[in-house]
Chain A
Amino acid sequence: MSFSRASFYGFLLLAALSWAYLLLGENSGLDEFSSSKTWSNAAGFIQELAGVKSQAKPAFLNIDRWVDTGRLAYQTLIMSVLAMGMAGMAVLATFLPGARNVGNGDLGGAYSPSWSLLYYLLRVIFAVTRAVPELVWALLLVFFFSPGILAGAVALAIHNYGVLGKLSSEVVENLDPAPAKALRTAGASNLQMLLYGIIPQALPHFMTYLLYRWEVVIRTTVVVGFVSAGGLGRELRLSLSFFHYTDVAQIIICYLILVLAVDLAAAWLRRLARFE
Chain B
Amino acid sequence: MPDHRRLLTLLMVAAVIWSVASAGWGGPVFHTGGAAVLGEIASALFPPELSPSFLGLALAATWQTLVFAVAGITLAIVLGLPLGVIASGAVFGPGRSSAVAIAAARFFLAAVRSIHELVWAVLFVAAFGLSSLTAILALTLPYAGILGRIYADLLNSVPQEPLQALRVSGASPFRVFLYGRLPMALPDAVGYTFYRFECAIRSAAIMSFVGIRGLGFEIQLSLNDLLFGQVWTLILFLLALVLVVDRWSSKVRRSMMS
B149 to chain A, nearest CB (A): 11
A190 at the interface (CB under 8 A from B): no
Q: How far, in whole Å, are A28 and B115 apart by their CA atoms in the complex? A: 24
* Chain B residue contacts of A120, Cβ below 8 A: none
Nearest-CB residue, chain A, relative to B239: A131
Encode contact with A along B215-248: 1 for CB under 8 Å, 0 otherwise: 0100110010000000100010011001100001
Q: Across the interface, do A207 and B8 meet the contact criterion of CB distance under 8 Å?
A: yes
Name the interface size band of chain B: 35 or more
B 1-33 contacts with A by CB, 8 A: 1, 4-5, 7-8, 11-12, 15-16, 18-20, 22-24, 27-31, 33
Which of B66-74, B79-87, B88-96 interfaces with chain A?
B66-74
* Chain A residue contacts of B190, Cβ below 8 A: 4
B187 to chain A, nearest CB (A): 9
A33 at the interface (CB under 8 A from B): yes
Residue of A3, A78, A204 near B255 (CB, 8 A) is A3
Encode contact with B along A6-32: 1 for CB under 8 Å, 0 otherwise: 010000001101110111010111101
* Chain B residue contacts of A136, Cβ below 8 A: 205-206, 216, 219, 235
Q: How far, in whole Å, are A23 and B136 apart by their CA atoms in the complex? A: 11
B43 at the interface (CB under 8 A from A): no
Q: Across the interface, do B255 and A222 meet the contact criterion of CB distance under 8 Å?
A: no
Q: Across the interface, do A29 and B27 meet the contact criterion of CB distance under 8 Å?
A: no
Encode contact with B along A210-244: 1 for CB under 8 Å, 0 otherwise: 10000000011011001000000000110010000
Nearest-CB residue, chain B, relative to A163: B199
A182 at the interface (CB under 8 A from B): no
B34 at the interface (CB under 8 A from A): yes
Q: How far, in whole Å, are A65 and B203 apart by their CA atoms in the complex? A: 31
* Chain A residue contacts of B27, Cβ below 8 A: 146, 148
Residue of B115, B235, B251 near A256 (CB, 8 A) is B115
A 127-169 contacts with B by CB, 8 A: 127-128, 130-133, 135-136, 139-140, 143-146, 148-150, 153
Q: Across the interface, do A133 and B18 meet the contact criterion of CB distance under 8 Å?
A: no
Q: Across the interface, do A128 and B239 meet the contact criterion of CB distance under 8 Å?
A: yes
B46 at the interface (CB under 8 A from A): no
Q: Across the interface, do A29 and B209 meet the contact criterion of CB distance under 8 Å?
A: no
Known: A82-B20, A140-B231, A146-B28. A42 touches B128 (CB 8 A): yes
A45 at the interface (CB under 8 A from B): yes
Q: Across the interface, do B127 and A127 meet the contact criterion of CB distance under 8 Å?
A: no
Q: How far, in whole Å, are A41 and B129 apart by their CA atoms in the complex? A: 9
Nearest-CB residue, chain A, relative to B256: A4
Known: A4-B256, A131-B202, A144-B31. A272 touches B116 (CB 8 A): no
B 129-172 contacts with A by CB, 8 A: 129-134, 136
Q: How far, in whole Å, are A53 and B220 apart by their CA atoms in the complex? A: 36
* Chain B residue contacts of A146, Cβ below 8 A: 27-31
Q: Across the interface, do B23 and A85 meet the contact criterion of CB distance under 8 Å?
A: no
Encode contact with B along A240-267: 1 for CB under 8 Å, 0 otherwise: 1000000010001001100110000000
B100 at the interface (CB under 8 A from A): no
Nearest-CB residue, chain A, relative to B125: A240
A112 at the interface (CB under 8 A from B): no
Q: Across the interface, do B209 and A135 meet the contact criterion of CB distance under 8 Å?
A: yes
* Chain B residue contacts of A84, Cβ below 8 A: 16
B104 at the interface (CB under 8 A from A): no
Nearest-CB residue, chain B, relative to A144: B34
Q: How far, in whole Å, are A165 and B112 apart by their CA atoms in the complex? A: 28
Encode contact with B along A27-67: 1 for CB under 8 Å, 0 otherwise: 11110110000100110011000000000000000000000
Q: Across the interface, do A3 and B31 meet the contact criterion of CB distance under 8 Å?
A: no
A2 at the interface (CB under 8 A from B): yes
Q: Across the interface, do B131 and A82 meet the contact criterion of CB distance under 8 Å?
A: no
Q: How far, in whole Å, are A17 and B206 apart by their CA atoms in the complex? A: 22
What are 24 contact pairs spanning A and B, CB under 8 A?
A: A4-B256, A7-B252, A15-B70, A15-B71, A21-B67, A33-B128, A41-B128, A81-B18, A127-B243, A131-B202, A132-B235, A133-B203, A135-B206, A135-B216, A143-B41, A144-B31, A144-B33, A144-B34, A146-B30, A226-B118, A236-B122, A240-B126, A256-B115, A269-B11
Give me the interface of B with A, judged by CB distance under 8 Å.
1, 4-5, 7-8, 11-12, 15-16, 18-20, 22-24, 27-31, 33-35, 37-38, 41, 66-68, 70-71, 74, 114-116, 118-119, 122-123, 126-134, 136, 190, 202-203, 205-206, 209, 216, 219-220, 223, 231, 235, 238-239, 242-243, 248, 251-252, 255-256
